Structure 1
Amino acid sequence: MNIMFCGDSHAEDGILITTLSLLKNTSTPLHFYILTMHAEGYTAFNQQAFRLIKKLLKEKDPNNTAELIDCTELFKKEPPRANMETRFTPYAMLRLFADQLPQIPDRILYLDDDIIVRKDISDFYNQDLTNIELVGVLDFWGRFFFHNIHTHKPFDYLNSGVLLLNMSEIKKTQLFAKVREKMSDKKMLLPDQSALNKLATEKKIAPRCYNEQYRLRPDTKIQHFTTSFRFKPYFHTLTVKPWDIERVHSVLKLHEYDDLLKQYTELRSQLKRA
């Protein structure tokens, strides 16, 4: 199973937790591709954290692999100029350079760093991708506000935190190249996600269980700890990340992942000195 992550040093805790969850729930070999870069005001994903993650993969299965890929020069050549001053994190754009990286395989699953894999996802990963650019789950809130009239579907706005990518098809349609160009020219809310939804013509919508963005349900296979809205006791946004264990317990009342978070707590100190 090929997995792609993107991020700077702030992504290290989340990717470690996601790694532990994948190791727990995956029986086939795992191949990680972590995309990072050096940029002013940011610190790249560090080698110590990468070595720890690679060590955990190899301990589980010698066939597991990991590669840390520096995308600095690619980013400099095609920066998202129109979106550099927004709340957008430029590291999220790095996945859009996957078509320029020869080591990225044709089938790869992109995951945000605030993801926990709860159950086996082999059926999702191995689904037929004939004539499909990407597969994702509807954005829990965005589906009500954003719509592409060309798809002829009432709901079609995908959350980009979990995306199964068909790189051969993406290269053929030049989807990522078109998205990079749009992000350079037009300022957008959630720019990479919005551009992907606008420009992807061959996308497939997967069941909610593969990217649960609101609250844990019995069939959840992937839980995404994204910012959400709550209406009680008053309307407010809510953001709780997996590595904020105290708030996972106190705010979300969630103990489903205590075994994984215990492992993470024991390993966390090694992120900077592995």
Structure 2
Amino acid sequence: MTANVSVFVTSSKSESFIKSDLFKQIPPEWRQKSALNEDSLLCDLVQSQSFLFELYAVWKNSQQDYIGFSYNNLYLSFTERKSDTDLRIPRINNNICRSYKWRQKDMPSVIQRGDVFIPNLYPLNKVSMSAHEDNVSSFYEKRIGNTDNIANIISIIKEEYTDLYINALNVCYGDLILPGLFFLLEKDIFDDYCTFLFDVLKKIKNKSPNHTAENYDYNFLSLVLSTIYFNSLSADKESKKLVNLPLVCVDPRNLSINAKDIIKTVIKRESDIIKKKKKDIKYGDKINIVMSFDDIYAPHAISVINSILAHTQNCDDIDLYIIHGNALSFEKRKEMQAYYDKKLNLIFKEINNDFADQLPPTGNHLTQSAYYRLFVQEILPRGVDRIIYLDTDLVVCDDIVDLWNIDLQGHVMGGVEDCQGKELRNRLSDQKNENIYVNSGVLILDLVLAEKRYGQLSYYFAEVFYKHQNRIGYHDQDILNIAFEGDIYNIPLRWNIPGLSYFFQPRLPKDIIDHPDYETLPEMQQSAFNDPAIIHFIGRRKPWKQNCLTPVKELYWHYRAKHTDVKISIVQRICRVNYFLLVCNGVACLFLGKQFYVIPLRSYVKSFKKALFFQKK
């Protein structure tokens, strides 16, 4: 007899239940029926819009032999390929369902492998986006303000679920946790799991009946309890077989973006700008732009500068300040000065600040010059009251005057919400807050107002760094967001569009958090992506590297080629035309049209070496 298997999904926007007969949307009547229950715990779950309410509805109504649960567009991969690597894909179609065994016809072979299917455990700082190492108990204390609920979990399990007690201690004082409630369970195990989960949560609620839902963070407590439960199954050698599987993230956006049309539009603006008059400057008589780079990043900075000049008639109104250290050579400065002499006012300012040298290394895809934006107040001449700061891994696609003229409405700094803004904001704060977290690649800074409110900025940034250094993971960007928290104006999204937005790159590293997660409405994202003013190639996948497949990278090469003296190597020429092959962490992804194929190179190499070894013997 064929087993009846269903994976219930909570997101009404997900494509999965439409494209696959395995995934099912939770029926509205199940929710309504559960909502009539006057249990105080369920009332809390409804109030906090917790996915646990959806899980409760599935538990009380489903009758399948195997029951799965997914939300936030994350799904378990049931493929038999041995891999712990999580992926990100743009959509679910028939080929994807076949590849990841997301069909009813695949389930007989899947359930032969086990009765419990869950994700791999994650380090807590990956799930929580904490910049420093915490155990579960200490993290919960920082987030909620007390550890009573964690202590109650341990106490309840010690008294009523004694077989789970040692695992409870291990999880609560350890740093590994499930990334979410994503699973496929045999019916009896599912019932036992839900009984345990909701019973403990209810008892925690009863210990503090007057607390509101915000005093608990039920979602996080459910991850703790689920990790305890499934760890116990894994440790019990006589229990049903448990299988850990990678997660697949399906990007929920349904944006209609034609990258080729966008490239044409941006390039056409160059010819259109010639017909236009100079624009009025609202703040001062000069547009002060600041950049910082070294010899290695100089060719990429040239692409940025050329893109600025191509889209404005106000070139002679621009003062471009280059803040640099010893890593920008005199020869390179002289070369750039000669080339841009009659195009704009190029001013080099050397930094000499001991604090900058004491800051931690910035990682492989950044240089120490990324910190130099923190010292603009003391380096730039008096009279420079307002600046635009630009990174060197972007292209400007519209008139920079429009960015300069944005009214910050009394805020010290303006920036665009980072594509991981919610997670990064929560990582920096002990408590939930609604302040914006911006990407530091494109900034407007009111230096006069900043000095009035915060004093000498380099000292202020030093204080912020040393007070919060255990939290800081995104270098200067974190420092700026902490320093000006609540004093940052949200600039329209089109002024800092991530290049990855135009290409759904698979998530190969074991980290599921960093897909774009804007709080901006989808229709506003649609408008911004189709009409970018600045495209920012964030992260390690730069246009000049092999692993960048976004089609809009052609704009980078277009503006770099305007400087005929900048040499382009053979390898870079290959990178320019590569839109189909991505290699990372021993896995190759081949993109052909709208389909992609995963090739486990590392596995093939191991098999080849093994065969070669036996052949020699």
- Do the two structures share a fold, i.e. TM-score over 0.5? yes
Q: Deviation digits for residues 11-42 of structure 1, max 9, x if unmatched?
A: 2111111011011012112211111113xxxx
Mapped pair 1:93 → 2:366: no
* Counterpart for residue 461 of structure 2: 179
Superposed displacement of residue 153, structure 1: 6.3
Gapped regions of structure 2 (runs ≥ 5): 1-286, 503-528, 569-617
Q: Deviation digits for residues 78-97 of structure 1, max 9, x if unmatched?
A: 2464x425637432111111
* Counterpart for residue 156 of structure 1: 436
* Counterpart for residue 263 of structure 1: 562
Q: Which amino acid aligns with 2:342?
A: E
Q: Which amino acid aligns with 1:177?
A: Y
CA distance in 2, matches of 1:24, 1:256: 12
Q: Which amino acid aligns with 1:223?
A: I
Mapped pair 1:224 → 2:559: no
* Counterpart for residue 70 of structure 1: 350
Mapped pair 1:58 → 2:370: no
* Counterpart for residue 233 of structure 1: none
Superposed displacement of residue 267, structure 1: 2.3
Q: Does the 8 Å CA contact 1:79/1:184 hold for their aligned counterparts? A: no
1:23 aligned to which of 305, 309, 332: 309
* Alignment map for 1:233-244 (pairs within 5 Å): 239-244=540-545
Which deviates more from structure 2 when the two are superposed, residues 123-132 or residues 254-263? 254-263
CA distance in 1, matches of 2:342, 2:345: 11
Q: Aligned pair in 2 of structure 1 residues 204, 65: CA closer, same or farther (>3 Å)?
A: same
Superposed displacement of residue 48, structure 1: 2.8
* Counterpart for residue 236 of structure 1: none
CA distance in 1, matches of 2:376, 2:395: 23
Q: Deviation digits for residues 240-274 of structure 1, max 9, x if unmatched?
A: 32444x766xx22333455323224x22149xxxx
Q: Does the 8 Å CA contact 1:143/1:155 hold for their aligned counterparts? A: no
Q: Aligned pair in 2 of structure 1 residues 110, 22: CA closer, same or farther (>3 Å)?
A: same
* Counterpart for residue 325 of structure 2: 37
CA distance in 2, matches of 1:120, 1:108: 16
Q: Which amino acid aligns with 1:99?
A: Q
Mapped pair 1:198 → 2:486: no
Q: Aligned pair in 2 of structure 1 residues 5, 258: CA closer, same or farther (>3 Å)?
A: closer
CA distance in 2, matches of 1:122, 1:13: 24
2:492 aligned to which of 207, 210, 226: 207
* Counterpart for residue 41 of structure 1: none
* Counterpart for residue 48 of structure 1: 331
Superposed displacement of residue 141, structure 1: 1.8
CA distance in 2, matches of 1:118, 1:160: 18
Q: Which amino acid aligns with 1:189?
A: G
Superposed displacement of residue 9, structure 1: 1.8
CA distance in 1, matches of 2:347, 2:403: 23
Which deviates more from structure 2 when the two are superposed, residues 125-134 or residues 186-195? 125-134
Which deviates more from structure 2 when the two are superposed, residues 169-178 or residues 143-152? 143-152
Q: Which amino acid aligns with 1:169?
A: L
* Counterpart for residue 398 of structure 2: 119
Superposed displacement of residue 128, structure 1: 2.3
Q: Which amino acid aligns with 2:493?
A: R
Q: Secondary structure at the match of 1:31?
A: strand
Higher normalized helix content (fraction of residues): 2
What is the TM-score with the length of structure 1 in the denominator?
0.78
1:128 aligned to which of 390, 401, 407: 407
Superposed displacement of residue 173, structure 1: 2.0
CA distance in 2, matches of 1:10, 1:123: 30
Which deviates more from structure 2 when the two are superposed, residues 122-131 or residues 17-26? 122-131
Q: Does the 8 Å CA contact 2:290/2:390 hold for their aligned counterparts? A: yes
Mapped pair 1:138 → 2:391: no
What is the TM-score with the length of structure 2 in the denominator?
0.36
Superposed displacement of residue 134, structure 1: 0.8
Q: Does the 8 Å CA contact 2:291/2:323 hold for their aligned counterparts? A: yes
Q: Does the 8 Å CA contact 1:136/1:159 hold for their aligned counterparts? A: yes
Q: Which amino acid aligns with 1:84?
A: P
Q: Does the 8 Å CA contact 2:409/2:489 hold for their aligned counterparts? A: no
Gapped regions of structure 1 (runs ≥ 5): 39-43, 228-238
CA distance in 2, matches of 1:21, 1:212: 15
Superposed displacement of residue 142, structure 1: 3.5
* Percentage of pairs with the same residue: 24
Q: Aligned pair in 2 of structure 1 residues 164, 150: CA closer, same or farther (>3 Å)?
A: farther
* Counterpart for residue 450 of structure 2: 170
Q: Which has the higher contact order (CA 8 A, sep 6+)?
A: 1
* Counterpart for residue 233 of structure 2: none
- Select the structure of larger CA radius of gyration: 2
Superposed displacement of residue 150, structure 1: 11
Q: Which amino acid aligns with 2:488?
A: K
Q: Aligned pair in 2 of structure 1 residues 86, 209: CA closer, same or farther (>3 Å)?
A: closer
Q: Aligned pair in 2 of structure 1 residues 124, 151: CA closer, same or farther (>3 Å)?
A: farther
Superposed displacement of residue 51, structure 1: 3.0
